Amino acid sequence: MTIAQELEFQQGILPDVIFPPGDLYSDEPPLASDLHLRQIILLLTCLEWLWQERNDFYAAGNLTIYYSHNQKKSEYFRGPDFFVVLGCERKTRKSWVVWEEEGKYPNVILEILSDSTASIDEGLKKEIYQDTFRTLDYFWYDPYTQEFAGFHLVDGKYQSLQASELGYLWSQQLGLYLGVNEGLVRFFTADGQLVQTPEESAQQAQQTAQQTEQRLEQTQQRLEQAQQTAQRLAAKLRELNIDPDTI
């Protein structure tokens, strides 16, 4: 949602929004930068790769969430940069329509801050996610200043998450840490292992295979050296009229 739309929302003015007939489509504006796009794609790719065997979640980025109690597509909608809903069918959606999803709201939301959206993400949106969405885990990250913060809903209010020794923030809903790695937010397992992309996993598998092959070659070389040493020793014993097979 644009800044103008946010201000109109705060003032109780509903912006004119044109929707196609039928299904509700996402109506989010373009992303602030290519860095925002890279971040969203990275989070989606890693989570879907990690949970490739699961069919009980939905993850999306820059997608509209419609949540009007009146079931009107022209009022009460937000578009988090990245969100995850648990306990739902894993399928493609044009948008997230709360009243068509058994009243489910996101379990986890992450907003990517920018100069034009930071005040809204840290203020108005935080209040909406806390008081209306009741989203249990909320994070925000500024890829330029590296500001990274997270909150967990406790008794209806967001409480700041304390970072681990490595600077990671724990998401109870995902069962994963979120942390900044090379300028982007990444997922980490409970024991601190980076959740990889398919490409990273393939590269690591290739490196592991190469290392295994190298170890096998080294073992073969040591066996050949040991065999050559044994042959030289046997030859020496025969020179001394000693049969090595009788020793």
Whole-number pLDDT of residue 181: 95
Whole-number pLDDT of residue 9: 44
Whole-number pLDDT of residue 184: 96
H-helix segments, 30-109: 34-50
Q: How far is C-alpha 137 from the geometric centre of its chain's CA atoms?
A: 13
Helices (H) and strands (E) in the chain, counts: 5, 12
Whole-number pLDDT of residue 17: 45
Cα dist from 210 to 1, 177, 204, 206, 228, whole Å: 49, 30, 10, 6, 27
H-helix segments, 3-103: 3-10, 34-50
Whole-number pLDDT of residue 20: 42
Residues in the chain: 247
Cα dist from 205 to 5, 46, 211, whole Å: 47, 16, 10
Whole-number pLDDT of residue 95: 95
Whole-number pLDDT of residue 26: 58
Among 62, 126, 128, residue whose Cα is nearest residue 96: 62
pLDDT digits over 172-183, tens only? 999 999 999 999
Which tokens hold the place of 173? 């809903």
Whole-number pLDDT of residue 209: 60
**Residues lower than pLDDT 70 in the chain:** 1-32, 204-213
Say if residues 15 and 1 touch (Cβ distance below 8 Å).
no
Give the strand pairing for 108-112 and 137-141: parallel
